[in-house]
Amino acid sequence: MTAIVEVNELERVFGANRAVDGMTFHVEPGEVFGLLGPNGAGKTTTVRLLNGILPPSSGSVRVFGLDPASEGQRVRQQTGVLTETPALYERLSAYENLAFFATLAGIPESALKSRALEMLAFFGLQDRAQDKVETYSKGMKQRLALARALIHKPPLLFLDEPTSGLDPEAAQHVNGLIADLGRQNGQTILLATHNLLEAQRLCDRVAVMNKGRILAMGSLKELARKLWPVTWVDITFWQAPAENVTGSLKTHRGVKAVTGQGEAWQVQVEGEDVIPQVVQHLAAQGASILKVNPRDYTLEDIYFALQAGEK
């Protein structure tokens, strides 16, 4: 499958500051790809470079096979961008905002009204369509900004901190809409965020960034495996197993360590594929297993481990 976004050794320098420093990544069609990093990591600059708003200092970028620096207008016809602040015309109504951007996107006059109303309805704003945006809550503004980014049905959507400044309820609502776009509509999304929970919930793959560089990239599982090649499994027994079971387990292939006592054990294994063998071995030894729980690493664990390594 041809990648929608291909970035190679991308650099963007502002004076002495390397905002983007040798980034290489790609985004597949239908994928939700996260750029994850602290403020100033270079996420927003990357979004600008990919849309032809800024030219790169060096390296290459292709979006739909086009060079955004020289064919920015054609790239932007196929992308929608939700900026960090909603950037809406507050003195105009929600409908006027959408109709304006729909015109710029080339939606014909005959389809413009129905398209704008369809988007307002999808984002639950149809009742307030003619109200000035300055009367909207933050969450409503963010939904309207998302509607604006999608007004021309772009195959690629950029979301820059989509829930920044929203209360938990509004953030959950916006995240739900994004999840629907990604999973139900098969929309390709590039999500730039420092919100780890949001990224974990929404992204298929993430690139963890700091100071313009990608520290690691992959799915949650891939990143966890890279960082922690061994897996811990918590095993709970109905009754404490006999003494000799511990010794026999320690010698089992793929088992690195066994700790704990009584009904609660912690077993370190080389990979998740070893876990069924461990369970079989224990059952064969007559142990009554109540619960087997391989420890999951969250994106938060991964993120902070990577950022700590960087420091």
Partner 1 sequence: MNWRSIWAIAQKDLKEVRQNKIAWGPAVVVPLIFAIVMPILITVLPQVIPVEDVERELGDMDMLLRNLPPSLAAIFDGKSLEQMFVIYMTGFMLAPMFLIMPLMFSTVVGSDSFVGERERKTMEALLYAPTSDMELFLGKTLAAVIPAILLSWLSYLVYIIVVNIASYPLFGNIWFPLATWWPLMFWLTPALAVLGISATVLISSRVKTFMEAYQLSASLVVLVLGLVVGQATGVLFLGVGTVMVIGVLVWILDVALIYLSVNRFNRSALIAKL
Is 142 or 231 the residue whose CB approaches partner 1 more closely?
A: 142
Q: Residue from 87, 230, 242, 284 that binds partner 1 (CB under 8 A)?
A: 87
Binding mask 99-138 for partner 1 (x = CB under 8 A): -xx-xxxx--------------------------------
Residues 6+ apart with CB under 8 A from 254: 269, 270, 271, 273, 274, 277, 278
Interface stretch with partner 1, choices 76-84, 203-211, 241-249, 251-259 (CB under 8 A): 76-84
Q: Per CB under 8 A, does 148 bind partner 1?
A: yes
CB of 68 to partner 1, least distance (A): 11
DSSP β-bridge partners for residue 60: 8
Q: Per CB under 8 A, does 88 bind partner 1?
A: yes
Crossing angle of helices 138-150 and 94-104, in 10° steps, is 20
Distance (Å, rounded) from C-alpha 98 to C-alpha 89? 10
Is 139 or 241 the residue whose CB approaches partner 1 more closely?
A: 139
Reported as half-sphere exposure (CB side, CA atoms, 13 A), residue 226 has a value of: 15
Interface stretch with partner 1, choices 18-26, 74-82, 168-176, 194-202 (CB under 8 A): 74-82
Q: Per CB under 8 A, does 89 bind partner 1?
A: yes
Question: C-alpha distances in angstroms, 187 versus 35, 84, 107, 147, 162?
Answer: 17, 20, 20, 14, 16
Interface stretch with partner 1, choices 93-101, 119-127, 224-232, 302-310 (CB under 8 A): 93-101
SS3 31: coil
Q: Closest Cα partner for 158 from 44, 80, 77? A: 80
Q: Closest Cα partner for 90 from 124, 140, 48, 126? A: 140
CB of 95 to partner 1, least distance (A): 12
Is 107 or 220 the residue whose CB approaches partner 1 more closely?
A: 107
Q: Per CB under 8 A, does 249 bind partner 1?
A: no
Q: Closest Cα partner for 303 from 151, 199, 201? A: 199
Binding mask 39-68 for partner 1 (x = CB under 8 A): ---------x--xxxxx-------------
Q: Is 248 exposed, middle or buried (0-12, 13-18, 19+ CB in 10 A)?
A: middle
Report the run of H or E that residue 235 belongs to, with start and end. strand 231-237
Residues at the interface with partner 1 (CB under 8 A): 48, 51-55, 72-74, 76-77, 79, 81, 83, 85, 87-92, 96, 100-101, 103-106, 145, 148, 152
